[in-house]
Structure 1
Amino acid sequence: MAFRKRNVALARSPAESPATESPSSPASHPVPAPPSPGTRPSPIDGRPTTSTGSPSLDCILAGHAGLPLGNSILIGESGTTDYAGALLRFYAAEGVVQGHRVHVVGMGEVWGRELPGIAEEKDKRREGKERAEKMKIAWRYEGLGAHGSSRERGAVGSPATSTGDAVGEAAVFCHTFDLARRLSLPVGSAIDYIPIPRTAGSPFVEILKNLQKQIAKSPPSSIHRLVIPSLMSPALYPPGASHPAAVLPFLHGLRALLRSYPTRLTAVMTLPLTLYPRSSGVVRWMEILSDGVFELSPFPYSHMESLATSAGTTKDEERPQGMFAVHKLPVFHERGGGGSTEGLGEDLAFTLSRRKFVVAKFSLPPLEGDTEAQGAAVREATGNAMPRKQDLEF
């Protein structure tokens, strides 16, 4: 009886050549190319997706956990606030960090220098890992584990640890940005500023030609992001840009360009709904020609003040700043729309903080006199959702 270790793989003999392999052998199959930086396959149908810079917004995109390449998003906002502009900055900053080519229409270099920087979370992650390791070891063996920790877990500056951290950082799909910090743009910045021509005709023709030229001369593996802030705004565009004969052919051409490059191009646009309401015909056609349509409705100041002084709110609870409506989702077909899209039929609200844009379910705070509802809200916010004594009695 031959004694041989079962966990040792058998090596191929030198005499065996690759020509003698059968077509069904694993070595004969081509190895799939790795995905481009900042992209990953969709869990629904495997199509490549990229992050919008906001994890909560990625989660509601029809279950694809990101924006599918070759699609566009139109974000409308009513009022004089600029929450949609913060979403555009997250989207552009994510593209710059991932090495994508970012095209900004109608804005100059000042807009690019105001992109948020990456938040510093290394210390918090290290503290969380140390706390988790301490919880795994019993308190009476903590000293023993610390005595042999350098030999068992490896030193902090060991090559294995640094390599693992580098791989983890390179595989980040969506970064966390800080609006109080500024993103340091690399040398030869990947931001392309497309000016709006002041011509008598439609300004969108030159914009579309410029975008198509930039994509055509770039490498086939490059990913492009198109950012269009305040589409048809009179402060940026000439008066004729808001005419349906000018903006609708542009969206037709952009849609054709997205379909021509289904694995290389995405687009996010914002629209001031105060100037162009959704009841107008041109806006309805713009929504039809866009793959995803969202609407931001910020709360008035008096309503936000009442939410802040409500008895049901706590210090750590994030108060919503407006309503978030989903009118249309990209690639919403029979295989999409499941998974993470649970609760889209309910009312959604958004909260813009210093480091993130959060979309969550909206619920009104309890009334002042309803002590039972106030206690339940406080317990839910603090994570201590223990049942009451009378609820446990049969």
Structure 2
Amino acid sequence: MRSFRKFIDISTHINGTKVKNNLPYVSSGIPSLDHIVGGGIPAGSIFVVEEDVLGVYSKVLFKYFIAEGVACDHELFVTSLDEDPHKITSELPQPCALPPEDEKAPSTDAEKMKIAWRYEGLSQVESSFGSNTNLGHNFDLSRYIDADTIEKSKIQYGTTTWQDSTLSWQTTMRRGKLKSALFHKLLRNIYETVLRSSGTNMLRLAIHSLGSPIWMAMDSDDTEFQNYGRDLIMFMYYLRILIRDKNVAVFITIPSHLYEDPIIMKKVLYSAHNAVRIESFAGSEKETNPVYKDYHGLFHITKLTALYTLVPFVPPSLDLAFKLKRKKFVIEKLHIPPELEETSEREQDDITATPSTACGGFRKKDIDF
């Protein structure tokens, strides 16, 4: 009897996926994001985005993930309590054949290299990631997918108010560990969606701003927001078990900055497979700092999990920044520009600085002949 048998995976026939370590991967919709997390989002995993303070850039990533699912004809489940899910899907970026390029102003002689003339002939450092990827599509943020395509796509929406009269939630929600009726309803809704999925196609679960204050306001059982984190931890744990070994990719955005206790987010990310955090410059001192003038914020990799392999993926760089252009969202290596001009403070320091007398220094006017 032969010890090994060739394993044939049906996921190789799913559109919009690639197989890595015998595991199907899907694209997040952003080539640079796929590159820094190891080639995409693996099936049966949870991808968490810790939102920026205003939630602007995290919503852009959220729309990219849904738009990629529409372009690949994947099954989709979209839900949000902070915003109408139908409004989110009506503003999805449109796929394009080539990577969109923003118009750049022509460089002038004043913008050339000022450090040394020898540097002008050197090539620039490659900052962007994943420009030539074989997974996913390119999208144009300046254009939206038409309404007919959205209507024909396989999108299931979670209700805005979570008022479902077909199930007796009052008698069932107390049987488990979840005390919140909203988390219990969402988990049950996801469970039914996974059961109804074909299994031969990829199912994308997109949850926007999970555990935000709106969830507490609509749930009459809880009174303190920090105590609400317990149900968020349990929900993530149950969700991880529910999607394990299934053709399901989960994309969740969480307003982590609202939870003062850092232990809550550590336990939440324990159930996630991959996690990133967006630090926006809006409203901070870095917004006016000339060092970060070419970027809109920093991009932090919080967690990467090695699935079906003993060798974890190593990101090309941990010093990452992002910028939102008119047509695309780009993640690049953070390059701090050199100080090209001398400041007035530096000139003043050169004039007033005197050597220390302890080291035998002296001033010219103190010399007697």
Q: TM-score, normalised by structure 2?
A: 0.67
Query: 2:296 matched to 1:325?
Result: no
The verdict on how the C-alpha distance between 1:282 and 1:99 changes in structure 2, with shifts beyond 3 A counting, is same
Specify the alignment match of 2:243 in structure 1: 258
**What is the match of residue 177 of structure 2?**
none
Contact 1:74 1:290 in 2 (8 A): yes
**Alignment match of 2:27 (pick from 36, 51, 58):** 51
The reply on whether 1:79 has 2:53 as its aligned counterpart is yes
Amino acid at match of 1:229: H
2:200 is aligned, of 209, 213, 221, to 221
Partner of 1:176: 138
Match of 2:333 in 1: 361
226, 231, 240: which one aligns with 1:246: 231
Which residue number corresponds to residue 67 of structure 1? 41
Amino acid at match of 2:190: L
Unpaired runs of 5+ in structure 2?
Answer: 102-132, 164-168, 171-179, 344-369
Q: CA RMSD in A?
A: 3.1
Q: Distance in 1 between matches of 2:72 and 2:300?
A: 29
SS at match of 1:173: coil
Of the three residues 250, 257, 262, the one matched with 1:280 is 262
Amino acid in the other structure paired with 1:69: A
Q: Distance in 1 between matches of 2:292 and 2:25?
A: 41
Corresponding pairs, count: 279
The aligned residue for residue 152 of structure 2 is 188
* Residues 73 and 291 in structure 1, CA contact (< 8 A), matched pair in contact too: yes
Give the letter for the 2:305 counterpart: P
SS in 2 for 1:351: strand
User: What residue number does 1:118 align with?
Assistant: 95
Amino acid paired to 1:55: P
Q: Any conservation in 2 of the 1:119–1:355 contact (CA below 8 Å)? A: no
Task: Provide the C-alpha distance between the structure 2 equivalents of 1:182 and 1:267, rounded to a whole number of angstroms.
Answer: 23
Contact 2:292 2:336 in 1 (8 A): no
Partner of 1:307: 290
Alpha carbons 1:202, 1:246 under 8 Å: kept: no
Q: Decide whether aligned partners of structure 1 residues 183 and 206 sit closer, same or farther in structure 2, where only a CA change above 3 A counts.
A: same
CA shift in 2, pair 1:336/1:35, >3 Å = farther
In the alignment, is the contact (CA less than 8 A) between 2:29 and 2:137 conserved in 1? yes
Are 1:270 and 2:253 counterparts?
A: yes
CA offset at residue 260 of structure 1?
4.4
- 1:123–1:337 distance in 2 versus 1, CA, 3 Å: closer
Q: Which residue of 1 aligns with 2:312?
A: 336
**1:366–1:85 Cα change, 3 Å:** same
Residue 74 of structure 2: aligned partner: 100
Q: 3, 8, 16: which one pairs with 1:38?
A: 16
Deviations 1:214-256 (A, max 9, x none): 2212212021111111111123553538613422221111101
Give identity over the alignment, percent: 26
Q: 1:119 to 1:370 in 2, by over 3 A?
A: farther
State the alpha-carbon separation in 1 of the partners of residues 24 and 256 from structure 2.
31
| Aligned counterparts of 1:203 and 1:92: Cα–Cα separation in 2 | 23
Equivalent of 1:293 in 247, 250, 275:
275
Question: Structure 1 residues 116, 367: closer, same or farther in 2, change over 3 A?
Answer: same
Amino acid aligned to 2:238? G
The alpha carbon displacement at 1:119 in A equals: 3.1
Q: Matched residue of 1:365: which SS?
A: coil
**Shift, 1:258, TM fit:** 1.7
SS of equivalent to 2:13 = coil
Residue 285 of structure 1 aligns with an amino acid whose one-letter code is K
Write the distance in 2 (CA, Å) between the matches of 1:123 and 1:113.
Answer: 21
Contact 1:81 1:298 (C-alpha < 8 Å) held by counterparts = no
Q: How big is the shift at 1:82?
A: 1.1
The alpha-carbon deviation at position 35 of structure 1 amounts to: 2.6
Conserved in 2, the CA contact under 8 Å of 1:39 and 1:173? yes
Cα 1:189/1:309, change in 2 over 3 Å? closer
Where does residue 62 of structure 2 map in the other structure? 88
CA distance in 2 between counterparts of 1:37 and 1:114 reads 23
1:259: how far off?
0.7
Change in Cα spacing, 1:55 to 1:370, as seen in structure 2 (3 Å) is farther
Q: 1:270 to 1:52 in 2, by over 3 A?
A: same
Cα distance in 2 for residues equivalent to 1:291 and 1:32: 22
**Normalising by the residue count of structure 1, what TM-score does the alignment of the two structures yield?**
0.63
Amino acid at match of 1:88: F
Distance 1:334 1:30 in 2: 19
